[in-house]
Amino acid sequence: MTTNQTHTIAPVLPVPATAARLTALVGALATLGSTFLAWTWTAEFPGDLTVTGYPGGLQVLTLTGALLTALFALAGHGVRGLGWLVPGGKNSPVRLLALGTFTTTWYAVLAIAVELGGLVNLEPGGWIAPLASLVTLVGALGLPTDVPAENPGPASGWQRFTHAFKAPAPGKAAPLPSWAEILIIAAAFGIGLFIFTYGIDTEYAELFIGFLLLIGFGAPAVARAGLNRRLGALTATHKNVTVTAAFVAAFAFPFTQSNDAYATIGANILIFATVALGLNVVVGLAGLLDLGYVAFLGVGAYTAALFSGSPSSTIGIQLPFWAAVLAGAAASLIFGVVIGAPTLRLHGDYLAIVTLGFGEIFRIAMQNMDGASGPDITNGPNGIPNIPDLELFGFNFGEPHNVLGVELGRFSNYYLLMLFFTIIVVTVFRRSDQSRIGRAWVAIREDETAARAMGINAFRLKLLAFALGATLAGMAGTVQAHVTFTVTPAQYKFVEAVPPNSAFLLAAVILGGMGTVSGPLIGAALLYLIPAKLQFMSDYQLLLFGIALILLMRFRPEGLIADRRKQLEFHETGQLDAPKGDIGLSKAGV
Task: Give the pLDDT band (50/70/90) at residue 153.
Answer: very low
Report which secondary-structure segment, H or E, holds 148: strand 145-148
Give me the pLDDT at residue 14, please.
Answer: 55
In angstroms, rounded to a whole number, what is the distance separating the alpha carbons of residues 390 and 399? 10
Residue pLDDT, tens place only, 221-280? 988 888 888 888 888 888 888 888 988 998 998 888 877 778 888 888 888 888 998 898
Phi first, then psi: give them for residue 290, nearest 5 degrees: -110, 115
| Residues in contact with 281: Cβ distance below 8 Å, sequence separation at least 6, in sequence order | 429, 432, 465, 468, 469, 472
Give me the pLDDT at residue 90, please.
Answer: 78
Can you give the pTM of this predicted structure? 0.82
Q: What is the mean pLDDT of residues 9-23?
A: 70
**Is pLDDT at 6 greater than 60 in this prediction?**
no
Residue pLDDT, tens place only, 479-538? 989 888 889 888 888 776 666 778 888 888 888 888 888 888 888 888 888 888 887 777
In angstroms, rounded to a whole number, what is the distance separating the alpha carbons of residues 445 and 185? 32
pLDDT-wise least confident of 211-215, 394-398, 436-440? 394-398
| Residues in contact with 53: Cβ distance below 8 Å, sequence separation at least 6, in sequence order | 36
Give me the pLDDT at residue 150, please.
Answer: 43
Question: Considering Cα of 500, then 505, then 507, then 508, what sign does the dihedral take?
Answer: positive
Is the domain spanning 258-523 CATH 3.40.50? The answer is no
Question: Number of C-alpha atoms within 13 angstroms, CB side, residue 273?
Answer: 31
**CA separation (Å) from 393 to 211, 251, 363?**
41, 20, 34
3-state helix, strand, coil in the chain (%, to 5): 65, 5, 30
Give me the pLDDT at residue 173, please.
Answer: 56
Residue pLDDT, tens place only, 165-175? 454 544 555 67
In angstroms, rounded to a whole number, what is the distance separating the alpha carbons of residues 267 and 274? 11
- Of residues 588 and 462, more confidence is placed in 462
Task: Give the pLDDT band (50/70/90) at residue 329.
Answer: very high
Residue pLDDT, tens place only, 290-326? 888 889 999 999 999 998 888 888 887 888 888 989 9
**Is pLDDT at 585 greater than 90 in this prediction?**
no
Q: What is the mean pLDDT of residues 49-77?
A: 91
Is 577 exposed, middle or buried, given 0-12, 13-18 or 19+ CB atoms closer than 10 A? exposed
Task: Give the pLDDT band (50/70/90) at residue 568.
Answer: low
Residue pLDDT, tens place only, 338-349? 888 888 888 778
Quick check: 6 and 89 in contact, CB under 8 A? yes
End-to-end CA distance of the chain: 55
Q: Where in the chain is the domain with CATH 1.10.3470?
A: 258-523
Give me the pLDDT at residue 4, please.
Answer: 44
**Is pLDDT at 141 greater than 60 in this prediction?**
yes
- Of residues 86 and 64, more confidence is placed in 64
In angstroms, rounded to a whole number, what is the distance separating the alpha carbons of residues 164 and 95? 8
Quick check: 559 and 510 in contact, CB under 8 A? yes
Give me the pLDDT at residue 322, please.
Answer: 87
Give me the pLDDT at residue 151, please.
Answer: 47
Residue 554: count other Cβ atoms within 10 Å of its Cβ: 9
Quick check: 332 and 477 in contact, CB under 8 A? yes
Q: What is the mean pLDDT of residues 68-82?
A: 83
